[in-house]
Structure 1
Amino acid sequence: MKIIVLAGSNRKNATSTRLGEYAVEVMRNQGHEASLFDLYQTPVPFYAPDEKQAENHNLAELNSRMLAADAIILTTPEYHGSISGVLKNALDHLSQAHFSGKPVLCISSAGGAVGVSSLLQLQAIVRNLHGINAQEWISIGGAQRRRFEATFDGYEEYEGSQDIEDRIQRVIGSFLSLAQTLTSARKSSESGERGNEDD
Protein backbone atom coordinates (compact mmCIF):
# COMPACT_ATOMS: atom_id res chain seq x y z
CA MET A 1 0.00 0.00 0.00
CA LYS A 2 0.96 3.63 -0.48
CA ILE A 3 0.83 5.49 2.83
CA ILE A 4 1.62 9.14 3.39
CA VAL A 5 2.53 10.61 6.77
CA LEU A 6 1.71 14.33 6.86
CA ALA A 7 3.93 15.86 9.54
CA GLY A 8 2.33 19.04 10.81
CA SER A 9 5.03 20.86 12.73
CA ASN A 10 6.86 24.05 11.81
CA ARG A 11 9.80 23.15 14.03
CA LYS A 12 13.05 21.47 13.06
CA ASN A 13 13.42 18.03 14.66
CA ALA A 14 9.94 18.19 16.19
CA THR A 15 9.08 15.10 18.22
CA SER A 16 5.80 14.75 16.32
CA THR A 17 7.75 14.69 13.04
CA ARG A 18 10.26 12.18 14.38
CA LEU A 19 7.34 10.05 15.55
CA GLY A 20 6.04 10.21 11.98
CA GLU A 21 9.47 9.15 10.70
CA TYR A 22 9.38 6.18 13.06
CA ALA A 23 5.94 5.23 11.73
CA VAL A 24 7.33 5.34 8.17
CA GLU A 25 10.19 3.05 9.22
CA VAL A 26 7.81 0.57 10.85
CA MET A 27 5.57 0.45 7.78
CA ARG A 28 8.45 0.14 5.30
CA ASN A 29 9.79 -2.78 7.32
CA GLN A 30 6.44 -4.47 6.68
CA GLY A 31 6.76 -3.98 2.93
CA HIS A 32 4.60 -0.90 2.44
CA GLU A 33 5.41 2.17 0.34
CA ALA A 34 5.39 4.73 3.15
CA SER A 35 6.69 8.30 2.88
CA LEU A 36 6.80 11.48 4.96
CA PHE A 37 5.60 14.90 3.85
CA ASP A 38 7.26 17.31 6.29
CA LEU A 39 5.55 20.71 6.36
CA TYR A 40 8.68 22.23 7.95
CA GLN A 41 10.88 21.09 5.07
CA THR A 42 8.18 21.55 2.42
CA PRO A 43 5.91 24.42 3.50
CA VAL A 44 2.73 25.27 1.64
CA PRO A 45 1.31 28.80 1.25
CA PHE A 46 -1.39 30.22 3.48
CA TYR A 47 -4.76 29.02 2.26
CA ALA A 48 -6.36 31.83 0.27
CA PRO A 49 -9.43 30.72 -1.72
CA ASP A 50 -9.45 33.95 -3.76
CA GLU A 51 -5.92 33.37 -5.04
CA LYS A 52 -4.64 30.95 -7.66
CA GLN A 53 -2.20 28.70 -5.81
CA ALA A 54 -2.17 25.63 -8.03
CA GLU A 55 1.19 26.64 -9.49
CA ASN A 56 2.90 26.36 -6.10
CA HIS A 57 5.33 23.43 -6.39
CA ASN A 58 5.06 22.28 -2.76
CA LEU A 59 1.27 22.44 -2.84
CA ALA A 60 1.16 20.50 -6.11
CA GLU A 61 3.37 17.81 -4.58
CA LEU A 62 1.17 17.58 -1.48
CA ASN A 63 -1.93 17.33 -3.66
CA SER A 64 -0.57 14.55 -5.87
CA ARG A 65 0.87 12.49 -3.02
CA MET A 66 -2.31 12.73 -0.97
CA LEU A 67 -4.44 11.69 -3.95
CA ALA A 68 -2.17 8.70 -4.65
CA ALA A 69 -2.16 7.48 -1.03
CA ASP A 70 -4.19 4.44 0.01
CA ALA A 71 -3.97 5.49 3.67
CA ILE A 72 -2.99 8.60 5.63
CA ILE A 73 -1.30 9.38 8.93
CA LEU A 74 -1.54 12.89 10.38
CA THR A 75 0.94 13.99 13.04
CA THR A 76 0.76 17.19 15.06
CA PRO A 77 2.21 18.86 18.12
CA GLU A 78 -0.44 20.05 20.54
CA TYR A 79 -0.48 23.82 20.98
CA HIS A 80 -2.94 25.40 23.44
CA GLY A 81 -5.14 22.32 23.31
CA SER A 82 -5.29 22.33 19.51
CA ILE A 83 -3.55 21.12 16.36
CA SER A 84 -0.73 23.12 14.81
CA GLY A 85 -1.51 26.03 12.53
CA VAL A 86 0.63 24.64 9.70
CA LEU A 87 -1.25 21.34 9.71
CA LYS A 88 -4.65 23.07 9.75
CA ASN A 89 -3.49 25.26 6.87
CA ALA A 90 -2.38 22.22 4.85
CA LEU A 91 -5.69 20.46 5.53
CA ASP A 92 -7.58 23.58 4.38
CA HIS A 93 -5.94 23.11 0.97
CA LEU A 94 -7.22 19.53 0.76
CA SER A 95 -10.69 18.14 0.14
CA GLN A 96 -12.87 15.05 0.26
CA ALA A 97 -11.15 13.87 -2.92
CA HIS A 98 -7.98 13.30 -0.87
CA PHE A 99 -9.63 11.57 2.10
CA SER A 100 -12.92 9.96 1.08
CA GLY A 101 -13.02 6.28 2.05
CA LYS A 102 -9.38 6.24 3.16
CA PRO A 103 -8.25 5.13 6.63
CA VAL A 104 -6.58 7.84 8.70
CA LEU A 105 -4.46 7.48 11.84
CA CYS A 106 -3.99 10.55 14.05
CA ILE A 107 -0.82 11.11 16.11
CA SER A 108 0.07 13.87 18.56
CA SER A 109 2.98 14.94 20.73
CA ALA A 110 2.49 17.29 23.67
CA GLY A 111 4.97 18.95 26.01
CA GLY A 112 2.77 18.19 29.00
CA ALA A 113 0.13 15.50 29.32
CA VAL A 114 -0.85 13.49 26.25
CA GLY A 115 -2.55 15.61 23.59
CA VAL A 116 -6.07 14.24 23.43
CA SER A 117 -7.70 17.58 22.49
CA SER A 118 -5.72 17.85 19.25
CA LEU A 119 -6.55 14.25 18.36
CA LEU A 120 -10.27 14.82 18.86
CA GLN A 121 -10.08 17.86 16.60
CA LEU A 122 -8.15 15.96 13.94
CA GLN A 123 -10.68 13.16 13.95
CA ALA A 124 -13.51 15.68 13.53
CA ILE A 125 -11.72 17.14 10.49
CA VAL A 126 -11.20 13.65 9.05
CA ARG A 127 -14.92 12.89 9.43
CA ASN A 128 -15.82 16.12 7.64
CA LEU A 129 -13.51 15.10 4.79
CA HIS A 130 -15.21 11.65 4.67
CA GLY A 131 -12.08 9.84 5.77
CA ILE A 132 -12.32 6.81 8.05
CA ASN A 133 -10.71 7.28 11.45
CA ALA A 134 -8.66 4.40 12.82
CA GLN A 135 -10.08 2.85 15.98
CA GLU A 136 -7.05 3.93 17.98
CA TRP A 137 -4.70 6.90 18.00
CA ILE A 138 -1.18 7.59 19.25
CA SER A 139 -0.34 10.33 21.71
CA ILE A 140 2.90 10.88 23.60
CA GLY A 141 3.55 13.52 26.21
CA GLY A 142 6.07 14.65 28.80
CA ALA A 143 8.93 12.21 29.40
CA GLN A 144 7.54 9.82 26.77
CA ARG A 145 8.80 12.21 24.11
CA ARG A 146 12.45 11.60 25.03
CA ARG A 147 12.59 8.60 22.69
CA PHE A 148 11.77 10.91 19.76
CA GLU A 149 13.95 13.91 20.58
CA ALA A 150 16.82 14.76 18.24
CA THR A 151 19.43 14.16 20.96
CA PHE A 152 18.24 10.61 21.64
CA ASP A 153 21.16 8.34 20.67
CA GLY A 154 19.38 4.99 20.71
CA TYR A 155 21.45 3.65 23.60
CA GLU A 156 19.65 5.42 26.40
CA GLU A 157 17.40 3.49 28.68
CA TYR A 158 14.58 5.04 30.62
CA GLU A 159 11.38 3.80 32.17
CA GLY A 160 8.70 3.02 29.62
CA SER A 161 10.91 3.27 26.49
CA GLN A 162 10.11 -0.20 25.17
CA ASP A 163 6.48 0.13 26.21
CA ILE A 164 6.12 3.23 24.02
CA GLU A 165 7.64 1.52 20.98
CA ASP A 166 5.52 -1.59 21.53
CA ARG A 167 2.35 0.52 21.81
CA ILE A 168 3.16 2.50 18.66
CA GLN A 169 3.90 -0.67 16.69
CA ARG A 170 0.69 -2.30 17.91
CA VAL A 171 -1.46 0.69 16.90
CA ILE A 172 0.26 0.96 13.51
CA GLY A 173 -0.32 -2.77 13.00
CA SER A 174 -4.03 -2.32 13.70
CA PHE A 175 -4.13 0.68 11.36
CA LEU A 176 -2.43 -1.28 8.56
CA SER A 177 -4.92 -4.10 8.97
CA LEU A 178 -7.80 -1.64 8.58
CA ALA A 179 -6.05 0.02 5.63
CA GLN A 180 -5.51 -3.31 3.88
CA THR A 181 -9.17 -4.24 4.25
CA LEU A 182 -10.45 -0.88 2.99
CA THR A 183 -7.93 -0.67 0.14
CA SER A 184 -8.82 -4.16 -1.09
CA ALA A 185 -12.54 -3.34 -0.94
CA ARG A 186 -12.05 -0.03 -2.78
CA LYS A 187 -9.94 -1.57 -5.54
CA SER A 188 -12.41 -4.42 -5.94
CA SER A 189 -15.25 -1.92 -6.26
CA GLU A 190 -13.32 0.15 -8.82
CA SER A 191 -12.52 -3.00 -10.79
CA GLY A 192 -16.19 -3.96 -10.80
CA GLU A 193 -17.19 -0.51 -12.03
CA ARG A 194 -14.69 -0.70 -14.89
CA GLY A 195 -16.04 -4.13 -15.78
CA ASN A 196 -19.58 -2.78 -15.96
CA GLU A 197 -18.43 0.02 -18.25
CA ASP A 198 -16.88 -2.54 -20.60
CA ASP A 199 -20.12 -4.59 -20.85
Structure 2
Amino acid sequence: MKLVALVGSLNPESKTAKGLNVAAEAARKAGAEVLVWNLRERPLPIYDPSAERDENTLAFIQLMDEADGFLIGSPEYHNGPSGALKNALDFVGYNQFNGKPVGLVASAGGAIATNTLVQLATILRSLHGYVIPHTGSMSYADNFNADGTFENPKMQERFEKVGTDVVALTKALRG
Protein backbone atom coordinates (compact mmCIF):
# COMPACT_ATOMS: atom_id res chain seq x y z
CA MET A 1 0.00 0.00 0.00
CA LYS A 2 1.35 3.39 -1.03
CA LEU A 3 0.36 6.65 0.64
CA VAL A 4 1.36 10.14 -0.45
CA ALA A 5 2.00 12.72 2.26
CA LEU A 6 1.50 16.14 0.68
CA VAL A 7 3.07 19.04 2.62
CA GLY A 8 1.31 22.30 1.76
CA SER A 9 3.64 24.62 3.68
CA LEU A 10 6.55 26.57 2.25
CA ASN A 11 7.99 27.47 5.66
CA PRO A 12 11.44 25.90 6.25
CA GLU A 13 10.55 25.44 9.96
CA SER A 14 7.06 24.19 9.15
CA LYS A 15 4.99 22.81 12.02
CA THR A 16 2.66 21.47 9.34
CA ALA A 17 5.47 19.33 7.92
CA LYS A 18 6.44 18.13 11.41
CA GLY A 19 2.86 17.21 12.31
CA LEU A 20 2.32 15.49 8.96
CA ASN A 21 5.53 13.53 9.54
CA VAL A 22 4.10 12.20 12.83
CA ALA A 23 1.07 10.88 10.93
CA ALA A 24 3.30 9.49 8.15
CA GLU A 25 5.55 7.65 10.63
CA ALA A 26 2.52 6.06 12.27
CA ALA A 27 1.27 4.98 8.82
CA ARG A 28 4.68 3.44 8.06
CA LYS A 29 4.61 1.52 11.34
CA ALA A 30 1.13 0.28 10.38
CA GLY A 31 2.54 -1.18 7.15
CA ALA A 32 2.24 1.57 4.52
CA GLU A 33 4.90 2.88 2.21
CA VAL A 34 4.68 6.67 2.57
CA LEU A 35 6.16 8.97 -0.05
CA VAL A 36 6.42 12.65 0.87
CA TRP A 37 5.88 15.48 -1.61
CA ASN A 38 6.95 18.72 0.04
CA LEU A 39 5.86 21.77 -1.98
CA ARG A 40 8.76 23.79 -0.57
CA GLU A 41 11.27 21.30 -1.95
CA ARG A 42 9.37 20.43 -5.12
CA PRO A 43 7.21 23.44 -6.04
CA LEU A 44 4.66 23.36 -8.81
CA PRO A 45 3.98 26.20 -11.25
CA ILE A 46 0.79 28.22 -11.01
CA TYR A 47 -1.97 26.03 -12.40
CA ASP A 48 -2.87 26.78 -16.01
CA PRO A 49 -5.09 24.16 -17.65
CA SER A 50 -3.80 25.04 -21.11
CA ALA A 51 -0.07 25.01 -20.30
CA GLU A 52 2.20 22.10 -21.07
CA ARG A 53 3.25 20.18 -17.98
CA ASP A 54 6.87 20.35 -16.87
CA GLU A 55 8.77 17.29 -15.64
CA ASN A 56 8.14 18.07 -11.96
CA THR A 57 4.39 18.50 -12.49
CA LEU A 58 4.17 15.26 -14.47
CA ALA A 59 6.03 13.45 -11.65
CA PHE A 60 3.57 14.90 -9.11
CA ILE A 61 0.53 13.78 -11.10
CA GLN A 62 2.01 10.30 -11.58
CA LEU A 63 2.76 9.96 -7.87
CA MET A 64 -0.80 11.00 -7.02
CA ASP A 65 -2.13 8.51 -9.62
CA GLU A 66 -0.22 5.65 -7.98
CA ALA A 67 -1.31 6.40 -4.41
CA ASP A 68 -3.74 4.19 -2.51
CA GLY A 69 -4.40 6.95 0.03
CA PHE A 70 -3.25 10.35 1.18
CA LEU A 71 -2.07 12.37 4.15
CA ILE A 72 -2.41 16.08 3.47
CA GLY A 73 -1.24 18.97 5.61
CA SER A 74 -1.64 22.72 5.37
CA PRO A 75 -0.95 25.76 7.47
CA GLU A 76 -3.97 27.99 8.00
CA TYR A 77 -3.68 31.32 6.21
CA HIS A 78 -6.60 33.75 6.49
CA ASN A 79 -8.89 30.92 7.66
CA GLY A 80 -8.09 28.63 4.74
CA PRO A 81 -5.47 26.29 3.29
CA SER A 82 -2.27 27.59 1.77
CA GLY A 83 -2.34 28.80 -1.80
CA ALA A 84 0.50 26.40 -2.63
CA LEU A 85 -1.56 23.41 -1.51
CA LYS A 86 -4.74 24.54 -3.29
CA ASN A 87 -2.68 25.12 -6.43
CA ALA A 88 -1.23 21.60 -6.21
CA LEU A 89 -4.69 20.10 -5.82
CA ASP A 90 -5.78 21.92 -8.98
CA PHE A 91 -3.39 19.69 -10.97
CA VAL A 92 -5.22 16.54 -9.89
CA GLY A 93 -8.85 15.50 -9.55
CA TYR A 94 -11.28 12.70 -8.96
CA ASN A 95 -9.14 10.38 -11.11
CA GLN A 96 -6.55 10.47 -8.33
CA PHE A 97 -8.83 10.66 -5.25
CA ASN A 98 -11.91 8.63 -6.18
CA GLY A 99 -12.61 6.09 -3.43
CA LYS A 100 -9.27 6.64 -1.67
CA PRO A 101 -8.81 7.54 2.02
CA VAL A 102 -7.51 10.97 2.95
CA GLY A 103 -6.23 12.10 6.35
CA LEU A 104 -5.92 15.81 7.09
CA VAL A 105 -3.72 17.83 9.41
CA ALA A 106 -3.33 21.59 9.78
CA SER A 107 -1.48 24.17 11.82
CA ALA A 108 -2.87 27.50 12.95
CA GLY A 109 -1.44 30.81 14.04
CA GLY A 110 -4.19 30.77 16.66
CA ALA A 111 -5.77 28.03 18.71
CA ILE A 112 -7.04 25.62 16.02
CA ALA A 113 -7.18 25.33 12.23
CA THR A 114 -10.82 24.30 11.94
CA ASN A 115 -11.62 26.38 8.86
CA THR A 116 -8.68 24.96 6.93
CA LEU A 117 -9.63 21.38 7.83
CA VAL A 118 -13.27 21.98 6.83
CA GLN A 119 -12.31 23.60 3.53
CA LEU A 120 -9.85 20.81 2.70
CA ALA A 121 -12.47 18.18 3.55
CA THR A 122 -14.94 19.91 1.22
CA ILE A 123 -12.39 20.07 -1.61
CA LEU A 124 -11.36 16.43 -1.19
CA ARG A 125 -14.93 15.16 -0.91
CA SER A 126 -15.69 16.96 -4.18
CA LEU A 127 -12.81 14.95 -5.67
CA HIS A 128 -14.53 11.77 -4.37
CA GLY A 129 -11.95 11.10 -1.66
CA TYR A 130 -12.93 9.41 1.60
CA VAL A 131 -11.88 11.97 4.18
CA ILE A 132 -11.46 10.25 7.54
CA PRO A 133 -13.38 11.95 10.35
CA HIS A 134 -10.37 12.16 12.69
CA THR A 135 -8.11 15.17 11.94
CA GLY A 136 -5.06 16.76 13.46
CA SER A 137 -4.97 20.46 14.30
CA MET A 138 -2.10 22.16 16.06
CA SER A 139 -1.72 25.68 17.38
CA TYR A 140 1.16 28.09 17.60
CA ALA A 141 1.68 26.85 21.18
CA ASP A 142 2.27 23.20 20.21
CA ASN A 143 5.94 22.26 20.10
CA PHE A 144 8.07 19.32 19.04
CA ASN A 145 10.89 17.38 20.67
CA ALA A 146 14.27 17.07 18.97
CA ASP A 147 13.25 13.63 17.64
CA GLY A 148 10.23 15.10 15.77
CA THR A 149 7.56 13.94 18.22
CA PHE A 150 5.12 16.31 19.88
CA GLU A 151 5.99 17.52 23.37
CA ASN A 152 2.36 16.89 24.30
CA PRO A 153 1.66 13.10 24.27
CA LYS A 154 -2.05 13.70 23.52
CA MET A 155 -1.13 15.59 20.35
CA GLN A 156 1.29 12.82 19.39
CA GLU A 157 -1.48 10.27 19.82
CA ARG A 158 -3.97 12.36 17.83
CA PHE A 159 -1.66 12.82 14.83
CA GLU A 160 -0.57 9.17 14.89
CA LYS A 161 -4.25 8.20 14.75
CA VAL A 162 -4.66 10.16 11.51
CA GLY A 163 -1.93 8.01 9.94
CA THR A 164 -3.15 4.69 11.31
CA ASP A 165 -6.78 5.42 10.41
CA VAL A 166 -5.84 6.09 6.77
CA VAL A 167 -3.95 2.78 6.68
CA ALA A 168 -6.86 0.91 8.29
CA LEU A 169 -9.42 2.36 5.87
CA THR A 170 -7.16 1.69 2.89
CA LYS A 171 -6.81 -1.95 3.95
CA ALA A 172 -10.57 -2.26 4.49
CA LEU A 173 -11.38 -0.80 1.07
CA ARG A 174 -8.88 -3.09 -0.64
CA GLY A 175 -10.48 -6.13 1.00
Q: Please say whether Structure 1 and Structure 2 have the same fold, judged by a TM-score greater than 0.5.
A: yes
- In structure 1, what is the Cα distance between the partners aligned to 2:8 and 2:30? 24
Structure 1 partner of 2:129: 131
Q: Which amino acid aligns with 1:181?
A: A
Structure 2 partner of 1:25: 25
TM-score by length of 2: 0.93
Say which structure is richer in helix. 1
- 2:67 paired residue among 66, 69, 75: 69
Report how many residues are paired: 175
- In structure 2, what is the Cα distance between the partners aligned to 1:13 and 1:111? 14
Q: Which amino acid aligns with 2:9?
A: S
Give how far 1:13 is off: 2.6
Uncovered stretches (5+) of structure 2, i.e. residues with no partner: none
- In structure 1, what is the Cα distance between the partners aligned to 2:157 and 2:21? 16
Q: Is the 8 A contact 2:27 2:166 kept in 1?
A: no
Structure 2 partner of 1:195: none
Please state if 1:39 is matched with 2:9.
Answer: no
Give how far 1:87 is off: 0.2
Cα 1:64–1:111 shift into 2, 3 Å:
same
Give how far 1:182 is off: 1.4
Structure 2 partner of 1:182: 173
Cα 1:143–1:63 shift into 2, 3 Å:
same
Larger radius of gyration: 1
Q: Is the 8 A contact 2:135 2:162 kept in 1?
A: yes
Give how far 1:154 is off: 4.1
Structure 2 partner of 1:5: 5
Cα 1:100–1:155 shift into 2, 3 Å:
closer
- In structure 2, what is the Cα distance between the partners aligned to 1:45 and 1:4? 20
TM-score by length of 1: 0.82
Q: Is the 8 A contact 2:121 2:131 kept in 1?
A: yes
Report which structure shows greater RCO (CA 8 Å, sep ≥6): 2
Q: What secondary structure does 2:71 align onto?
A: strand
Question: Aligned-pair RMSD on alpha carbons?
Answer: 1.8
Q: Percent identity?
A: 31
